């Protein structure tokens, strides 16, 4: 139901060229009676779930996509107060993201049904929405935590999930997951664009601002990273990868050493010339 309403809402947004109004968002999004939301440690392992591995992984992905619908629309509604600052395209971009996520959820649900299961057959956690709540009063934090961390994690996990499904022998599901992962690149790109744009409006540099936000909100970015997909999305590696930062620091230090060596060499040459005079 939510995915259909989301798609219908976006269609009206586009066809009727709806203006951005101001609305107070609900504290929590409406959710179906299932799945039961539990602590992550209480979610059964694949072997104890009663579902085959492909359905288990697909159910987890469906849960991520349902949350992604909520996160995108919450961004549209929650920050509507800043419409004049952010502009129409900010809200149009995230409404389109919500529409994409609704389609992804529909794909997962349809495939689960083909496998003989449905969304809600397994308990799930509420961590994704809790991360959203942390950034409810700060658009910079919202952009950093959701598109640039949570959705970027999807870029990292997508290819691994595809390979697991292929190994399981489920090529149809692997193709669906691959298509979703491909479309998620654009969502991260939207986040990168607007994060940089908002930082520019605030007179702040994006890279240190991103790191400061993660530290303030206690958000950890863990690898392994899909550098190719992240680069395609325009997410600079030195924003999130400490190894890249360390390498750059070493390169900068090496450049300093080289410059010092050249200066010392020039001083020696000048000294020799002076002695020759």
For residue 131, pLDDT beyond 60:
yes
111 lies in the same domain as 247:
no
Number of domains in the chain: 2
Min mean pLDDT across 36-50, 71-85, 96-110, 123-137 is at 123-137
Q: In sequence order, what are the beta bridge partners of 37?
A: 124
pLDDT computed for residue 260 by the predictor: 47
67 lies in the same domain as 105:
yes
112 lies in the same domain as 101:
yes
For residue 170, pLDDT beyond 90:
yes
232 lies in the same domain as 246:
no
Quote the CA–CA distance of 235 and 230 in Å, as a whole number. 5
Mean pLDDT confidence for 128-143: 91
Mean pLDDT confidence for 250-276: 51
Mean pLDDT confidence for 77-83: 92
180 lies in the same domain as 205:
yes
Show the domain range for 254: 242-277
For residue 121, pLDDT beyond 90:
yes
pLDDT band at 28 (very low <50, low <70, confident <90, very high): confident
pLDDT computed for residue 86 by the predictor: 95
Q: Which residue has the tokens 């107060």?
A: 81
Q: Which of 138, 105, 100 is nearest to 119 (CA)?
A: 105
Task: HSE, CB side, 13 Å, CA atoms: give it for residue 194.
Answer: 28
Percent of the chain with pLDDT over 90: 73
In sequence order, what are the residues at sequence separation of 6 or more whose Cβ sits closer than 8 angstroms to the Cβ of residue 18?
12
pLDDT computed for residue 269 by the predictor: 58
pLDDT band at 247 (very low <50, low <70, confident <90, very high): very low
Quote the CA–CA distance of 194 and 191 in Å, as a whole number. 5
Within 10 angstroms of residue 252's Cβ, the number of other Cβ atoms is: 10
Residue 72's Cβ-count burial label (10 Å; 0-12, 13-18, 19+) is: buried
133 lies in the same domain as 212:
yes
Note the pLDDT tens digit of each residue in 209-219.
999 999 999 99
107 lies in the same domain as 230:
yes
Q: Please say whether the beta carbons of 102 and 4 come within 8 A.
A: yes
pLDDT computed for residue 246 by the predictor: 43
pLDDT band at 25 (very low <50, low <70, confident <90, very high): confident
No. of H helices and E strands in the chain? 12, 0
139 lies in the same domain as 222:
yes
In sequence order, what are the residues at sequence separation of 6 or more whose Cβ sits closer than 8 angstroms to the Cβ of residue 79?
86, 90, 139, 142
In sequence order, what are the residues at sequence separation of 6 or more whose Cβ sits closer than 8 angstroms to the Cβ of residue 26?
none
pLDDT computed for residue 144 by the predictor: 97
Tell me the average pLDDT of the chain.
Answer: 89
149 lies in the same domain as 190:
yes
What CATH number has the domain bearing residue 31?
1.20.1260.10
231 lies in the same domain as 101:
yes
173 lies in the same domain as 257:
no
Q: Please say whether the beta carbons of 148 and 188 come within 8 A.
A: yes
End-to-end, the C-alpha distance of the chain in Å comes to 90
For residue 259, pLDDT beyond 60:
no
125 lies in the same domain as 56:
yes
């Amino acid at each position: 139901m939510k995915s259909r309403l989301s798609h219908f809402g976006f269609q009206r947004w586009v066809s009727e060229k709806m203006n951005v109004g101001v609305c107070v968002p609900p504290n929590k999004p409406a959710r179906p009676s299932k799945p039961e939301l539990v602590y992550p440690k209480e979610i059964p392992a694949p072997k104890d779930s009663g579902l085959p591995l492909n359905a288990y992984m697909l159910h987890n992905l469906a849960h991520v996509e349902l949350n992604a619908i909520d996160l995108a629309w919450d961004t549209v509604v929650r920050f509507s107060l800043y419409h004049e600052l952010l502009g129409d395209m900010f809200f149009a971009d995230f409404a389109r993201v919500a529409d994409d996520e609704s389609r992804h959820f529909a794909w997962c649900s349809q495939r689960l049904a083909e496998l003989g299961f449905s969304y809600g057959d397994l308990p799930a956690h509420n961590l994704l929405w809790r991360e959203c709540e942390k950034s409810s009063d700060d658009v910079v934090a919202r952009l950093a935590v959701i598109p640039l961390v949570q959705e970027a994690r999807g870029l990292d996990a997508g290819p691994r999930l595809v390979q697991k499904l292929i190994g399981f022998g489920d090529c149809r599901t692997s193709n669906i997951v691959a298509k979703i992962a491909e479309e998620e690149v654009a969502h991260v790109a939207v986040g990168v664009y607007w994060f940089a744009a908002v930082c520019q409006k605030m007179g702040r540099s994006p890279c240190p601002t991103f790191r400061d936000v993660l530290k303030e909100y206690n958000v950890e970015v863990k690898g392994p990273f899909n550098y190719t997909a992240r680069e395609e999305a325009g997410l600079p590696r030195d924003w999130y990868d400490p190894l890249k930062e360390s390498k750059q620091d070493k390169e900068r230090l090496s450049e300093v050493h080289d410059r010092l060596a050249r200066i010392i060499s020039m001083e020696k040459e000048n000294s020799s010339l002076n002695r020759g005079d």
